[in-house]
Amino acid sequence: MLRTACGILALALSLYAFYSRIRPGDQFPKLRDKWWGEGYRIMETHYVEDSRIEVTDKVLYDLQNRLKATQKLHPSYLGMGQRYGIRDNVMQDVLDYWTNHYNFTKRLEFINQYPHRFVKIRGLTIHFLYAEAQRKHQNTRVIPLLMVHGWPSSFLEFYEVLPMLVKSDPTLDFVFEVVAPSIPGFAFSDYPHKPGMSAIYIAQIFAELMEILEYDHYYVHGGDWGGVIIQHMAHRYPHRVLGMHSTMCYVNTITSNLKFIIGSYLPSLIYEPEEMRLWNKTANSIAFMVEEGGYFHLQATKPDTIGMALRDSPIGLAAYMLEKFSTLTNANYRDREDGGLTEKFTMEQLLDNVMVYWVTRCMTSAMRIYAEAITNYELEFNRYMRILVPAGCARFPNEILLSPRYILKERYTNLVHLTTYNNGGHFAAMEVPGSLAYDITSFVEKVEKMRPAKKRS
């Protein structure tokens, strides 16, 4: 029954997509030369500042006061897991830990283990993390890798995987140096002062960042919004991007939707034999999106309203963010009374990320990314975009959307690397950093082998 409904919905969406193909001749609207700062464009010198993350005592004192003044949480229904939203007992534990055990001043040492750098681009201060390559041999090549986070995570998502990428592996002739920026409006990057900062404009800013840092060629990796952003980079700057690696490869075209519908009845038509285990997940994914997509719908339409509350209440902010760390890590955690929150993550990992959103007061501007994405302009790119640079897609079994190779090939025409793992969900970089580091490295190894040796830097 639900299957049929999903089929009909998908069909409707495909027909809609078909009818709204208004300008197939002019598929890619031009990028405008935008200035995102206050007022008018000024001359910028791209001076890169080295810094540390510091937070004033006043901010921490204010936070303590708010945590202590938190209203008694509304009792959750017994036996319903997280089906009505994150439970009171889960958040009570978070609140107790946050108030009594969590020490942000100490956590700043951890956060500051990498240098934090800042540079002005198009009127905005862009924050990024720089993780230097730790070469063992002088003839080990250093390969630059841009890593882009998503919502509701931050650059902190990569802290577990970074050491694995920047340390020399004796079996490889290369090692990474990593640039992990904060998306404009997130964490320590400025928020845009004008509307319209969609993924494609973020891609433009990050391409300019890499140019300022004097990288001629580099790899890109991302998941969630990071995955959307790096796709645009791969599409628009193929002369710079050597390869793109994503944990959230997806296609959204008329034909891909039709294939999904057909595949939900006749899976063998679209899934390869070893992909068959993805089938059930895909069939459930539309129902999952309806049940779990309320936040998406709200953020895509009225981010500023809900932002008022999330900026003002630490427990509210944490609840809103941590629901995702439960549900998107494993959909089955919804049926657990504890939400499985500390099953894969430590309370420190979870609260560090919440703290980054709290101290930078960035929730409203971060959520606006959803509103900017759901525009005809952005959707049109998404419909026709073909990525020609080598692409690598890692499929973690609890990721929201998992597509078969047959469908992925539509967009990623040069899909050189496609893997399926046994563990891991939406926050794979935090949850299974070893698998992710291995996957990125394997992908880059393949691509490097295909490149003419003389061109390798």
Residue 426 is among the residues annotated as catalytic for this protein: yes
Residue 29 interacts with a second copy (CB under 8 A): yes or no: no
**Separation of alpha carbons 322 and 324, rounded Å:** 5
> How far are the Cα atoms of 82, 118, 281, 323 from residue 292, in angstroms, in the given order?
11, 35, 15, 10
Residue 368 interacts with a second copy (CB under 8 A): yes or no: yes
DSSP 3-state assignment of 50?
Answer: strand
Calculated CA dihedral for residues 235, 398, 145, 27, nearest 10 degrees: 10
Q: Cβ contacts of residue 91 below 8 Å, gap of 6+?
A: 73, 315, 318, 319, 322
Residue 364 interacts with a second copy (CB under 8 A): yes or no: yes
Residue 338 is among the residues annotated as catalytic for this protein: no
Span near a second copy by CB under 8 A; candidates 5-13, 45-53, 212-220, 263-271: 5-13
Binder of a second copy out of 256, 299, 330, 403 (CB under 8 A): 299
Q: Cβ contacts of residue 47 below 8 Å, gap of 6+?
A: 119, 120
Beta bridge partners of residue 177, listed in sequence order: 144
Catalytically annotated residue among 190, 224, 352, 439: 224
**Separation of alpha carbons 189 and 26, rounded Å:** 33
**Separation of alpha carbons 251 and 391, rounded Å:** 13
Binder of a second copy out of 31, 80, 269, 450 (CB under 8 A): 80
Residue 302 interacts with a second copy (CB under 8 A): yes or no: yes
Binder of a second copy out of 31, 54, 110, 293 (CB under 8 A): 293
Size of the residue set binding a second copy (CB under 8 A): 69
Span near a second copy by CB under 8 A; candidates 100-108, 228-236, 241-249, 289-297: 289-297
Q: How far is the CB of 328 from a second copy (least distance, A)?
A: 13
- As given in the structure block, the two tokens for residue 368 are 């606006």
Residue 219 is among the residues annotated as catalytic for this protein: no
Residue 297 interacts with a second copy (CB under 8 A): yes or no: yes
Residue 377 interacts with a second copy (CB under 8 A): yes or no: no
Q: How far is the CB of 70 from a second copy (least distance, A)?
A: 6
Q: Cβ contacts of residue 447 below 8 Å, gap of 6+?
A: 219, 242, 243, 390, 392, 416, 417
Question: Could you list the residues that contact a second copy (CB under 8 A)?
Answer: 1, 4-5, 8-9, 11-12, 15-16, 19-20, 22, 62, 65-66, 69-77, 80, 84-88, 91, 193-195, 290-295, 297-313, 315-320, 323, 361, 364-365, 368, 371
Point out the residues that are catalytic.
224, 370, 426
